[in-house]
Amino acid sequence: MIIAWIRKKLAIRSSKKLVRTVRGIIRKKGRFMAPREADHAEVRILACEEAIKRGSLHEIRASRKALRIFFEDNLRSYGKSALRQNVEAIVIAVALALAIRAFVVQPFKIPSGSMLPTLLVGDHILINKFVYGTRVPFTNEIFFPFSMVDRGDIIVFKLSEDNATDFPMPGKGAFYVKRAMGIAGDEIDISGRDILINGRAVDQVYTGNYEYPDQKFFSVADRYEQSLSGKDFSVIYKKGSSSTTSGKMSFPLVVPKGRIFVMGDNRDNSYDSRFWGFVPVENVYGKAFMIHWSWNLSNPGFADKVRWRRIFSGIE
């Protein structure tokens, strides 16, 4: 009974909308129509209205179908101009793209080598803005969080005003990409190349030399495979260095509530939480999940500039 009632209501609404559309075309474009076209349209409009009055779902659908066929065959050309249709399509596409960028996915370009070897200079990544919650436009207010930032996530964020500013960084308002190493309540300590979280060293295995791909750092580094919260990833250290740069922060330290401790995978060439402190959760804009484009502009020729193997690759 309820389903039948809903079907009837939807059919009536659709018929009324079609009637309004046809009547609007007749009112605006009637002077350009052949007399028979307007007369035939009125006959079919009246048939729709009578069917609605009688309340028969079968009649409503049949009269609507007849009016729809007549509209498509005879009146479609009197409707919106091609220019207006194209403009509306462009506006809708732009609005949809802006909505997706604002709430779901946003592109981001890697400007530095602080996340080597995971992310290279010239990588263009996509960040999932939905996973940590939807942000109210033009504010830092977040609602509907589906998950919280976890250790090992690669996040994109902005610095807050209380972060240190005496380091060579782009400054307030710029986006940064780092790996979350500690979350609220974690005790972080750095001892040599070991990172201890809550008294336990992050698992890591030395895997050999890493050669920098067209970077302006030292040419060879020590590469390690680390594992944190079920995520496996590579990090590098300056060759011959006995300890990770500790920056300006005093260790051990405890990550405050609502804050995240982040580090770059290029451990000896990254300004991160070791230097300017913790990242507020509300400043996190999303989680990096894919490289959609990558190139090295220093190579000659377009084909050589593009890093084809990195395109559409996932990010660990």
Return d(Cα 202, Cα 76) in angstroms, integer. Answer: 67
Report CA-CA distances (Å) from 236 to 215, 229, 312.
Answer: 14, 19, 24
Write down the catalytic residue from 112, 129, 178, 287: 178
Taking the C-alpha atoms of residue 91 and residue 108, their distance in angstroms, rounded to an integer, is 24
Q: Let me know the angle formed at the C-alpha of 249 by 285 and 152, rounded to the nearest 5 degrees.
A: 40
Distances (CA, A) of 29 to 33, 37, 75, 78, 83: 7, 11, 10, 7, 17
Peptide bond into 252 cis (omega under 30): yes
Token duo for residue 221: 């580094």
Residue 219 a catalytic site member: no
Query: In terms of DSSP bridges, do strands 175-182 and 154-158 run parallel, antiparallel, or are they unpaired?
Result: antiparallel
CB 189 within 8 A of CB 196: yes
Partners of 157 in the β-ladder: 176, 284
Q: Can 114 be counted among the known catalytic residues? A: yes
Q: Pull the structure tokens for residue 210.
A: 């890493």
Q: Report the C-alpha gap between 267 and 242 in whole angstroms.
A: 12
Which residue numbers are catalytic?
114, 178
